[in-house]
Amino acid sequence: MKWTIAPARELAAHAAVWEDLHRAANASLLLARDFVAPLLDQFGTGRELLATCEHEGAVVAMTIVTPSRRGSWATFQPPQAPLGLWLQMPGLDLEPLLASLMRALPGFALVFGLMQMDPDLMPRPPDAARLATLDYIDTARVSMASGFDAYWDARGKNLRSNLKKQRTRLAKEGVALSLRISRTPADMAQAVADFGRLESSGWKGASGTAVHADDAQGRYYRAMLEALARRGAASVYRYFFGEQLVAMDLCVEDDGCIVVLKTAYDESVPKNYSPTLLMREEATRALFDAGRLDRIEFYGRVMEWHLRWTDEVRTMYHVNYYRWSGLRRLHR
């Protein structure tokens, strides 16, 4: 196995190779070039490297890595990336890939961190003399194998009753509820602007972490959603009380899966209403009824509301690979 190292800013020149491997590996849309390239554009520091592994004349793995501290490297992992930016052909043993990558990295790498791996996409490897895995977060999904009614009947009585009461109360107050879905590239700039205004009105605005249309986060989400919308792989869900926008989801879709990347809601809505959950109920029903996809992924840390929405929870993981086994023992 031979790794070739190039500046990650040259990803565009290697885009066809990345996309060929992404397709051959049947990888998540979260690792597609259209999702990854804007991450580098908006959050890269210029120190990131693109590493490509060839074996017997074929590209078998690619990744984007960055130095994390002296003697340590890791996959490039801005908060907007739910998965580690690592592509490999299925069935390959991870340990020799990491061993050869360590030798190819500049300087004298002692530890390499492969971050935020999904065990459903890449099975968690067993610990070894130079390899250790550690838990990252628990994350949730909703499988859509049955119909919506069966799924909804399996949810807790309190959740179903509470949302039904909210709808009844809003109807008595003359508030019409509507879910609107945008999918075209031309829709995405306005969607990100709307999302930014919604998020900025709450605690994220006060803490300085909200999306704004003209900041790095806003530019990232606009570029990424526009690119994926051109492939029919992006969707934005807006939920309205009358004409008041009260909740939004930014989503991407691939074969069989929709990923909810970001959610925002209007924190000025009275506390006896749950606009996000009302939106989620209608959106989930629409996804079940459409029958195009088989699961909804959240890829965030499991929250209390996730556990009301699903009992499907799994643990994502990190991998540390060490130059010497003694380093692993010392680190442990």
- The rounded distance, in Å, linking the Cα atoms of 223 and 36 is 11
Helix (H, G, I), strand (E, B) or coil at 73: strand
**Does the structure show a pLDDT above 70 at 323?**
yes
132's CB contacts (< 8 A; 6+ apart) are 319, 320, 322, 328, 331, 332
Consecutive H or E run containing 84: none
Two tokens at 30? 């979260």
For the chain, give every residue range classified as CATH 3.40.630.30: 146-293
Spell 165-201 as b/e; 16+ CB within 10 A means b. Answer: ebbeebeeeeeebebeebbebebbbebbbbbbbbbbb
Confidence of residue 305 (pLDDT cuts 50, 70, 90): very high
pLDDT for the residue 201: 76
Could you tell me the pLDDT band of residue 67, with boundaries at 50, 70 and 90? very high
**Tens of pLDDT, residues 214-238:** 899 999 999 999 999 999 999 999 9
pLDDT of residue 254: 87
pLDDT above 80: residue 324: no
What are 112-131's pLDDT values in tens digits? 999 999 999 999 999 999 99
**Which pLDDT score is estimated for 93?**
94
In angstroms, rounded to a whole number, what is the distance separating the alpha carbons of residues 324 and 32? Answer: 33
What is the number of other CB atoms lying within 10 angstroms of the CB of residue 49? 20
Mean pLDDT score of the chain, rounded to an integer? 94
CATH fold for domain 2-136+316-331: Aminopeptidase (3.40.630)
Q: Which CATH number fits domain 146-293: 3.40.630.30, 3.40.50.970, 3.30.70.330, 3.40.50.2300?
A: 3.40.630.30
